[in-house]
Amino acid sequence: METEVKLTKLASCAGCGAKLGAGTLAKMLTGFQTHADPRLIVGYDKSDDASVYVLDENTALIQTTDFFPPIVDDPFLYGRIAAVNAMSDVYAMGGEPKLALNILCAAEGMPEEAIREILRGGYDAAYEAGAIITGGHTIRGAEPIYGLAVSGFVHPKKVLTNSNAQPGDVLILTKPLGIGILTTAAKAELAGGEILKKIHAQMAALNKTSRDIMVTYPVHSCTDITGFSLLGHGYEMAQGSNCTLHITVDSVPYHGEALEFASMGLVPAGAYRNRQYAGGGVKLRREVSLAMQDILYDPQTSGGLLFALPEKDAQDCLRKLRDHIPQAAIVGYVTEKEDAFLCLE
């Protein structure tokens, strides 16, 4: 639906570009007193996409939450994208989302129909995922915010983390980059039409199919590419795995229009935070234009999965992915730790 209230005009930041920088967040969490529990096999100390708690020998609980200001003006689409983005963390752990709670802040002046459509978008995404929204919490505030707290399940021995990439692995990315740059251009009323239709459809697409195909292979490590960018999330994977990720820049899928806008300087603030966070761990092995680097640091909203699997399985996995997700691509490989965590080649 269209609304007279432009949702993106009510927010100072859009989508996952609103996230605190990863480096800032890590410093804030340092030194907190927490309980130790051997059943908690993935916690926030791992910089992973979700926490994982073992319930019994066959079941582990995955918990995550994600919410953000409007990335689009259409309330239904905004709700769907926010919900898809939240559930993506569960898929990145190799799990299935099952239960969810709404998190909603309605800005003053938002009509009730717009609020209802945001919620309907969330329910629509959850229904497609096979998850149930069982309630939530709604407040009023200065800016609209929506997302979900999500619980999912996975077998304890099949949990995927962002810290187990192995030397010899190949890296696959399932969605093209450039979302943050293009939504920044849209907010400045410089992008529209077919460009926006394309990225809206991408952001609204669940990572369920990618997950379903991925888990049929011996994947070692996985993360979803969201606000910290390909290089930010890749940096965390490399650090956690104590390996070096080599990114083959010419193989990385991205929206061509994003390169044009990046060349014009239309880059979201989150990209600069990501560069500040991960840039010290990145080494250029070849010349890479500043605009292309901006795309690699660009914060993504509801981005794709980045996963590492043995080279012998990579081509077969990619073929199956491309039957459903044509832009999926092999974007690099993993080696023993070198003189940088990330190498651009």
Q: Look at 117-121, 185-189, 294-298 and tell me which has the smallest mean pLDDT.
A: 185-189
pLDDT at residue 192 in the model: 79
Question: pLDDT grade, residue 29 (50/70/90)?
Answer: low
Question: pLDDT grade, residue 11 (50/70/90)?
Answer: low
pLDDT at residue 44 in the model: 75
pLDDT at residue 189 in the model: 85
Q: Look at 105-109, 126-130, 164-168 and tell me which has the smallest mean pLDDT.
A: 105-109
- pTM strictly above 0.75: yes
Rounded mean pLDDT of the chain? Answer: 92
Question: pLDDT grade, residue 43 (50/70/90)?
Answer: confident
* Residue 61 confidence (pLDDT) above 90: yes
* Residue 3 confidence (pLDDT) above 50: no
Residue located via tokens 């910290």: 228
* Residue 21 confidence (pLDDT) above 90: no
Distances (CA, A) of 188 to 14, 251, 300: 12, 29, 18
Secondary structure in 3-state letters for the chain: CCCCCCHHHHCCCCHHHHCCCHHHHHHHHCCCCCCCCCCEEECHHHCCCCEEEEEECCEEEEEEEEEECCCCCCHHHHHHHHHHHHHHHHHHCCCEEEEEEEEEEEECCCCHHHHHHHHHHHHHHHHHHCCEEEEEEEEEECCCEEEEEEEEEECHHHCCCCCCCCCCEEEEECCCECHHHHHHHHHCCCCCCHHHHHHHHHHCCCCHHHHHHHCCCCCCEEEECCCCHHHHHHHHHHHHHCEEEEECHHHCCECHHHHHHHHCCCCCHHHHHHHHHHHHHEEECCCCCHHHHHHHCCCCCCCCEEEEEEHHHHHHHHHHHHCCCCCCEEEEEEEECCCCCEEEC
Distances (CA, A) of 259 to 180, 188, 246, 298: 11, 16, 21, 11
Six-digit token pair at 185?
């251009």
* Residue 17 confidence (pLDDT) above 60: no
Question: pLDDT grade, residue 1 (50/70/90)?
Answer: very low
Q: Look at 29-33, 232-236, 288-292 and tell me which has the smallest mean pLDDT.
A: 29-33
Positions annotated as catalytic residues are 16
Q: What percentage of the chain exceeds 70 in pLDDT?
A: 91
pLDDT at residue 4 in the model: 56
Instruction: Catalogue all structural domains in the chain, each as residue range(s) with its CATH number.
Output: 7-158 (3.30.1330.10), 169-344 (3.90.650.10)
pLDDT at residue 2 in the model: 43
pLDDT at residue 23 in the model: 56
Per-residue pLDDT tens over the stretch 284-332: 999 999 999 999 999 999 999 999 999 999 999 999 999 999 999 999 9
